[in-house]
Structure 1
Amino acid sequence: MTTQTTARPANLKLLRASVALQTAAVFLQSVTSGLMMTLPYGHVLHSAGSYTLWVVTVVHVVAAVLAWRPGGGSPQSIWFAAGFLALITAQVYSGLFHLTALHVPLAAALLVASVVYLFKIRR
């Protein structure tokens, strides 16, 4: 029982850090989307950021599982992380196939969802 209580704060810190990193990456993607329209190499930055964001979201899923199972936290974090991963994957594909009508609104929704969840999880 002592390992579970000592592991819980560390796992929760990892979850909070991964959500904060994910939120920052989503925000940076909105910056690089603007750069993509103004700079000749902006698309390279936006593309690299999208794959980075996907990896950060996978880390968020792992952190959510660790905060739930060994940490004794709520499984609700896993559902949010898995849903966010599915939406980020759809976002990457909509960008690859130039589906701007889906890509831009989904990006805005992902930014809002990530910020709201960051504030929720920090409480």
Structure 2
Amino acid sequence: MFLRITLILQTIALFAAPVTAGLLLSVPSRQPLHSAAAYTVFAVAVLQLVASVVAWRPGGGSPKPIMHAAGFLVLVSAQVALGIAHVTTLHVPLGVLLFTGSVLQLSRVWTPRSSERVSRTPSSV
């Protein structure tokens, strides 16, 4: 459950970042707002990594979510560094990639597992 919540927060934060970037383009004094959105994305990515480890430990399941969260954190770190360096030719496409990846990861966590799905075929009596 905590994993789902952090993924929702991550996706919302990643959606807010380009919105604040648009505000930054229209009013240059909005730069602190975009910075706040960027660091929120970073903080939520760290929280996502922690949530992945916590979700993995008790059940002893697959460590794949940890690897995804760690990779995502590396990409977010690169995104923040590119933004600080004003390398928009890489910053913008990487932001699109991050948002798409977050939505895909959220869809994977949100859909029920095959063992939890209810069979739609009629049972024979």
Query: Normalising by the residue count of structure 2, what TM-score does the alignment of the two structures yield?
Result: 0.85
Gaps of 5+ in 1: 1-12
- 1:60 equivalent in alignment to 2:44: no
| 2:58 counterpart SS class | coil
Mapped partners of 2:62, 2:109: distance in 1: 11
- Deviating above 4 A after TM superposition, structure 1's stretches of 4 or more consecutive aligned residues are none
In our comparison, the structure showing a higher alpha carbon Rg is: 2
Look up the match of 1:85. 73
Higher helix fraction (1 or 2)? 1
Gaps of 5+ in 2: 112-125
- 1:41 equivalent in alignment to 2:41: no
> What is the CA deviation profile of residues 18-60 of structure 1, one whole-angstrom value per residue up to 9, with x for unaligned ones?
0110000000001111111012322111001111110111000
Mapped partners of 2:93, 2:77: distance in 1: 15
Mapped partners of 2:39, 2:106: distance in 1: 21
Q: Which amino acid aligns with 2:47?
A: V
> What is the CA deviation profile of residues 49-92 of structure 1, one whole-angstrom value per residue up to 9, with x for unaligned ones?
11111011100000000111123332110011000000000000
Identity fraction in percent? 49
Query: Normalising by the residue count of structure 1, what TM-score does the alignment of the two structures yield?
Result: 0.87
Look up the match of 1:22. 10
